[in-house]
Amino acid sequence: MHEFDWSSIPGALPFLWDGMVISLQITVTAVLVGIVWGTLLALMRLSSIKPLSWFAAAYVNLFRAVPLVMVLLWFFLIVPSFLESLFGLPRGSDVRLASAITGFALFEAAYYSEIIRAGIQSVSKGQMAAASALGMTYGQAMRLVVLPQAFRNMVPLLLTQGIILFQDTSLVYVSALADFFGAAYKVGDRDGRLVELLLFAGAVYFVICFTASRIVRYCQNKLKVA
Amino acid sequence: MAMISMNKVSKYYGSFQVLADCTTQVAKGEVIVVCGPSGSGKSTLIKCVNGLEPFQSGEIIVNGVSVGDPRTKLSQLRSTVGMVFQNFELFPHMRIIENLSIAQIKVLGRSEGEARAKAASLLDRVGLSEQAEKYPGQLSGGQQQRVAIARALAMDPICMLFDEPTSALDPEMVNEVLDVMTELAKEGMTMMCVTHEMGFAKRVATRVIFMDQGRIVEDDSKDAFFEAARSQRAQQFLAKILHH
């Protein structure tokens, strides 16, 4: 029977906290960039300009058909040397965080674009017609009339996708980046208490994600009433 | 010169012809009622006037501007032509007052204060001043449609298009909308109305256009139309719509 020994956790909390900061940093940046880039992809996909629509379709299908961990590895292997040569950074500078964020953002944008595309299509065609009839350009009608309604319908889905993304950030361990999961693993490995640390990390992920999804559900009900 | 002039307008969905050689003129101040059985192309016809529906051949000139000309800036043209839809199409995420001012500000470049003042006076005119700060979902259908008319008027349009403005309303709300339209007509607004409200047509219309299968079958003064429709199809339609 395994004897649990949790004593290495309290001392490691500051290090684990630093890991959590990195996880949250990746999540928040990837969600924000993912939504902006995803919106652009969705607009391209719905565009009547064929090359734009093809590009967006190809992008989305490519990223959705490849495992996330593989995308992260590509970015880990390719982006650092690319950034080094682009910005003239000294060789071996630590761009793991930047490459991880880029990888996540580009990957998530593919998923966000599909959510946003469905959101745009959920707004009745008559709204676009009414905005156009008032003399708004396509861009104005999208920005002022269609997208605000689409996003309102999509908020719960976008947040849920953000929660999944938060869990997925643990995959950055492939680039040896000390996110929360990576930090827990390192501490456990160092102290020979891997099981305890991984259980602890799992519990923390669970509490955060479960709470967040409850909040999303609460918001969803609120929106329904309004 | 005619305010709206259509010359041999035809439109197809694939191989199906929705509009066939439609030709008519609307002079300034005229009130035209467009009627006909469902699927006859009447809604499509008036949506061609402001370019919401593209057409493949023929020509539509609105106040001297050709709608089908690729050089025409459609958004510019549409800002001068008011349109009211069957399902109101108010913007549900904006307050009533914002529904009336947004296009004034973003399209016409009016200041916020100017736009709101105009919006408030139009709301007063349709009897809905009290509702300015509400959202569309809090209003009845009839109220929403009156707001939609006010929203179109806020752009100071040179003419107004109505696409079955009372079809989605409960019967007791039809009159409040027709009253606003009647008043508008009396003030000399040029109007094209797709509607089944023959009472409105008899009271207000200067001319009636009857459509069937994408063609303009009758285009006559209202008296001539109601007393002696020439085509058999229009006679049948009137018999059905008036005697039940």
pLDDT tens-digit map of A160-170: 999 999 999 98
User: Which of B50, B84, B91 to mutate against chain A (most A CBs within 10 Å)?
Assistant: B91
Q: Which of B49, B40, B50, B47 is nearest to B19 (CA)?
A: B40
Contact status, residue B152 vs residue B160, Cβ threshold 8 Å: yes
Estimate the share of chain B in helix, then strand, then coil, as percent rounded to the nearest 5. 40, 25, 35
CB contact under 8 A, A129 and B75: no
Radius of gyration of chain A (CA): 21
Is residue B220 pLDDT above 80, yes or no? yes
Q: Provide the number of CB pairs (under 8 Å) joining chain A to chain B.
A: 61
A217 Cβ contact partners less than 8 Å away, ≥ 6 residues apart:
A156
CB contact under 8 A, A133 and B106: no
Residues of chain B contacting residue A144, judged by C-beta atoms under 8 Å apart: 102, 106
Distance between A58 CA and the closest CA of chain B, angstroms = 28
Q: What integer pLDDT is reported at residue B76 of this predicted model?
A: 94
Contact status, residue B162 vs residue B84, Cβ threshold 8 Å: yes
Residues of chain B contacting residue A145, judged by C-beta atoms under 8 Å apart: 91
Contact status, residue B19 vs residue B48, Cβ threshold 8 Å: yes
Place of tokens 């923390």: A204
- The predicted-structure confidence for B135-149, as pLDDT tens digits, reads as follows 999 999 999 999 999
Q: What integer pLDDT is reported at residue B239 of this predicted model?
A: 84
Q: What integer pLDDT is reported at residue A2 of this predicted model?
A: 67
- The predicted-structure confidence for B161-197, as pLDDT tens digits, reads as follows 999 999 999 988 999 999 999 999 999 999 999 999 9
Q: What integer pLDDT is reported at residue A226 of this predicted model?
A: 54
Q: What integer pLDDT is reported at residue A220 of this predicted model?
A: 81
pTM for the structure as a whole = 0.86
Burial of B197 (0-12, 13-18, 19+ CB in 10 A): buried
Residues of chain A contacting residue B106, judged by C-beta atoms under 8 Å apart: 136, 140, 144
ipTM for this prediction: 0.92
State the average pLDDT over residues B18-36: 94
CB contact under 8 A, B52 and A126: no
Mark the ranges of chain A whose per-residue pLDDT is less than 70: 1-2, 83, 89-94, 224-226
The DSSP letter of residue A143 is I
Compare CB distances from A129 to B79, B82, B89 and report the shortest one's residue. B89
CB contact under 8 A, B78 and A135: yes
- Could you tell me the two tokens for B204? 């207000």
Place of tokens 């944008």: A109
- H/E element, B152: helix B141-153
Q: What integer pLDDT is reported at residue B158 of this predicted model?
A: 95
Say which CATH topology domain A12-223 has: MetI-like fold (1.10.3720)
Q: What integer pLDDT is reported at residue A91 of this predicted model?
A: 62
Residue B53: pLDDT band (50, 70, 90) is: very high
User: What's the distance, Cα to Cα, between the start and end of chain A in Å?
Assistant: 54
Q: What integer pLDDT is reported at residue A225 of this predicted model?
A: 58
Distance between A216 CA and the closest CA of chain B, angstroms = 21
Q: What is the DSSP string of B15-52?
A: TEEEEEEEEEEE-TT-EEEEE-STTSSHHHHHHHHTTS
Q: Which of residues 181-220 of B touch A (CB under 8 A)?
A: none
CB contact under 8 A, A134 and B155: yes
Q: What is the DSSP string of B81-150?
A: EEEE-TT----TTS-HHHHHHHHHHHTT---HHHHHHHHHHHHHHTT-GGGTTS-GGGS-HHHHHHHHHH
Q: Which of residues 93-152 of B touch A (CB under 8 A)?
A: 93, 102-103, 106-108, 151-152
Compare CB distances from B103 to A124, A134, A152 and report the shortest one's residue. A134
Residues of chain A contacting residue B152, judged by C-beta atoms under 8 Å apart: 133-134
Q: What integer pLDDT is reported at residue A222 of this predicted model?
A: 79
Nearest CA in chain B to A150: B93
In terms of DSSP H, where are the helices of chain A?
8-46, 50-64, 68-87, 96-122, 125-133, 138-140, 147-168, 180-191, 194-225
What mean pLDDT, rounded, does chain B reach?
Answer: 93
Check CB contact of A13 with chain B, cutoff 8 Å.
Answer: no
Q: Give the sign of the dihedral formed by CA B230, CA B232, CA B234, CA B237.
A: positive
- The predicted-structure confidence for B59-110, as pLDDT tens digits, reads as follows 999 999 999 999 999 999 999 999 999 999 999 999 999 999 999 999 999 9
Nearest CA in chain A to B85: A130
CB atoms within 10 A of CB B226: 17
Q: What integer pLDDT is reported at residue A89 of this predicted model?
A: 67
Contact status, residue A159 vs residue A219, Cβ threshold 8 Å: yes
CB contact under 8 A, B81 and A144: no
